[in-house]
């Protein structure tokens, strides 16, 4: 190969390598590169927005309009990431959760910090229609899966069972997933002191989607994605596979490094000082952000997404 060719192919090679890295990262971080999923692009300050409509359960899955899934995302002392769906989601035993319980039960603060950092996180998945996406208008009118955390889930639950306000008025209960009587959701994402915040998000007044045009709604319904897939058996690795992965991330695959890896993590935790459980999300988020941004590390980026919601 001539030098000119070498130079010409340089960009391609980089892209290829990048692609391969992404493919590798996909194992375990299945939602990181998933075209079905939507999340608004955020500006440099970490702010983003969009208007979405939560949709009812897809055809053939008329149970709940959302599913819940637990996952783990943490970086081992050697720099490797453990990003896996947690099998407790489907009532199977999880080697990491078992280990976390053991660490927690020692009562030692440093161990508790480690357990906290590695704990399972709950995500919700629902179908949405994107009504407005200022940064990526081509998404408007498309159906996506939206993954969200407790903050947004609480807002959705609040629509079902609204609380009395200070003036004694109680807003009318709304099923936010309903085609005819639901409401559009203004998603507002802000970065406040390093933490992602959804508190300025709110529902618009209830309105029938597509002005209640049943033909259009039926077509939309048929475009929805399966939610049960997210909690299907093949979304979760076997106990053996997870144990193996966990040992590798903790640097224990050689057998004799077990204690040193644990010690390193513990030392790290000691140096950071005690963590307030309330603030834990924030500090973990900050850590992920500072390592993730610019580094191009897909895993830490994914970790950030996990922490965010
Ligand atoms: Zn687990």
Distance 266 CA to ligand 1 centre (A): 20
Backbone torsions φ then ψ of 95, nearest 5 degrees: -60, -35
Distance 172 CA to ligand 1 centre (A): 38
Backbone torsions φ then ψ of 193, nearest 5 degrees: 50, 45
Distance 164 CA to ligand 1 centre (A): 37
Contact 85, 39 (CB under 8 A): no
Distance 120 CA to ligand 1 centre (A): 5
* Alpha-carbon distances, residue 141 vs 104, 126, 162, 182, 211 (angstroms): 47, 16, 29, 17, 14
270 versus 87: the higher-pLDDT residue is 87
Average pLDDT, integer, range 9-20: 59
**Per-residue pLDDT, 6:** 62
Fold for 36-308, please state it: Replication Fork Single-Stranded DNA Binding Protein (3.90.198)
The model's pLDDT over 109-150, given as tens digits with 9 standing for 90+, comes to 999 999 999 999 999 999 999 999 999 999 999 999 999 999
Distance 239 CA to ligand 1 centre (A): 10
Q: Is the pLDDT of residue 293 over 50?
A: no
Whole-model pTM above 0.75? Answer: no
175 versus 294: the higher-pLDDT residue is 175
- Long-range CB contact pairs, 270-275, < 8 A, 24+: 270/110, 272/113, 274/109, 274/113, 275/113, 275/116
Where are the domains positioned within the chain?
A: 1-30, 36-308
Average pLDDT, integer, range 223-241: 96
Q: Is the pLDDT of residue 16 over 50?
A: yes
The model's pLDDT over 234-275, given as tens digits with 9 standing for 90+, comes to 999 999 999 999 999 998 654 444 444 455 554 444 444 433
**Per-residue pLDDT, 208:** 97
Distance 89 CA to ligand 1 centre (A): 8
Strand partners, 145: 37, 127
Tokens of 282: 């924030």
Distance 236 CA to ligand 1 centre (A): 10
Closest CA to 38 of 132, 112, 159: 132
Please, which pLDDT band fits residue 100 given cuts at 50, 70 and 90?
Answer: very high
Distance 169 CA to ligand 1 centre (A): 42
Q: Is the pLDDT of residue 308 over 90?
A: no
Distance 294 CA to ligand 1 centre (A): 29
């Amino acid at each position: 190969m001539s030098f000119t060719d070498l130079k010409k192919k340089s960009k391609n090679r980089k892209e290829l390598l990048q692609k391969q890295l992404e493919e590798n990262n996909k194992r375990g971080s299945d939602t990181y590169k998933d075209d079905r999923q939507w999340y608004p692009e955020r500006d440099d300050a970490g702010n983003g927005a969009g208007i979405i409509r939560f949709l009812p359960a897809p055809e053939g899955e008329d149970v709940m309009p959302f599913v819940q899934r637990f996952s783990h995302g943490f970086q081992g002392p050697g720099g490797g990431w453990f990003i896996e769906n947690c099998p407790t989601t489907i009532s199977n035993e999880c080697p990491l959760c078992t280990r976390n319980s053991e660490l927690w039960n020692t009562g030692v603060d440093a161990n508790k910090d480690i357990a906290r950092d590695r704990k399972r996180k709950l995500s919700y998945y629902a179908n949405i229609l994107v009504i407005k996406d200022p940064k990526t208008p081509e998404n408007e009118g498309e159906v996506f899966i939206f993954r969200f955390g407790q903050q947004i889930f609480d807002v959705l639950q609040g629509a079902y069972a609204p609380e009395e306000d200070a003036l004694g008025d109680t807003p009318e209960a709304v099923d936010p997933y309903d085609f005819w009587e639901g409401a559009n959701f203004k998603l507002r994402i802000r970065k406040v002191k390093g933490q992602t915040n959804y508190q300025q998000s709110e529902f618009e007044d209830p309105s029938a989607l597509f002005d209640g045009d049943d033909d259009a709604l039926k077509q939309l319904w048929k475009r929805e994605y399966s939610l049960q897939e997210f909690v299907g058996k093949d979304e979760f690795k076997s106990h053996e596979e997870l144990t193996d992965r966990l040992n590798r991330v903790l640097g224990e695959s050689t057998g004799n490094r077990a204690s040193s890896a644990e010690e390193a993590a513990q030392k790290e935790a000691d140096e950071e000082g005690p963590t307030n459980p309330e603030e834990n999300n924030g500090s973990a988020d900050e850590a992920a952000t500072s390592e993730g941004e610019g580094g191009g590390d897909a895993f830490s980026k994914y970790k950030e997404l996990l922490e965010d919601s």
